[in-house]
């Protein structure tokens, strides 16, 4: 299942070209996340002050449909409009987590270079955080709920958030 997540920045003036994140939520990734949630719950039973756990994770592609790193405008303009139109059609402003078709593609010139990418594991969800390359701020995705992770493990093609 491919999903697009809204991204926020802890810098109110810049998001580093990271307005959204694309994740291929494979059954393997979802199973790994569910295992990590179970581990966190076990830790929390021993120490109630444990809140969340961070793991290195390189499974997210951060992008903006309105920013391009392509060398010429001709390379990016049609693709940019297509991605932006699809996100508008899917109502990304209302739905912060979207299941997109497997055919959904983002032009490579719209992906942001990232450093220090991590998965944040919480008791009932996961999220992702990273630092845009050459920046001194973090960006973070919205959460992927437990129900969506469970659906990805079973191979359900759609889930309502």
pLDDT at 37 over 50: yes
pLDDT value of position 104: 86
Average pLDDT value for residue range 76-92? 61
The separation between CA 36 and the C-alpha centre of its own chain, rounded to angstroms, equals: 17
pLDDT value of position 161: 44
pLDDT value of position 57: 93
In whole numbers, what is the pLDDT of the chain averaged over residues? 87
pLDDT value of position 83: 66
pLDDT at 41 over 90: yes
Specify the pTM. 0.85
> How far is the C-alpha of 61 from the C-alpha of 19, rounded, in Å?
11
Average pLDDT value for residue range 118-141? 97
- Check the CA dihedral 66-70-71-77 and report its sign: negative
pLDDT at 158 over 90: no
In this prediction, residue 84 has a pLDDT band, given cuts at 50, 70 and 90, of low
pLDDT value of position 112: 94
Q: Which residues pair with 118 in a beta bridge?
A: 56, 129
């Amino acid at each position: 299942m491919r999903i697009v997540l809204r991204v926020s920045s802890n810098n109110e003036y810049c998001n580093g070209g990271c307005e959204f994140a694309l994740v291929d939520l494979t059954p393997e990734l979802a199973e790994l996340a569910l295992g990590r949630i179970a581990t966190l719950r076990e830790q929390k039973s021993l120490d109630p002050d444990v809140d969340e756990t961070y793991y290195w994770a390189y499974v997210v592609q951060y992008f903006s449909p309105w920013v391009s790193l392509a060398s010429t405008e001709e390379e990016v303009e049609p693709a940019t409009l297509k991605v932006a139109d699809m996100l508008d059609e899917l109502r990304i402003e209302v739905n912060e987590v979207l299941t997109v078709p497997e055919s959904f593609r983002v032009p490579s010139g719209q992906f942001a270079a990232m450093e220090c990418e991590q998965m944040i594991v919480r008791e009932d969800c996961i999220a992702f955080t990273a630092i845009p390359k050459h920046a001194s701020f973090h960006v973070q995705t919205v959460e992927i709920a437990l129900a969506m992770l469970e659906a990805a493990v079973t191979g359900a093609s759609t889930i309502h958030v």
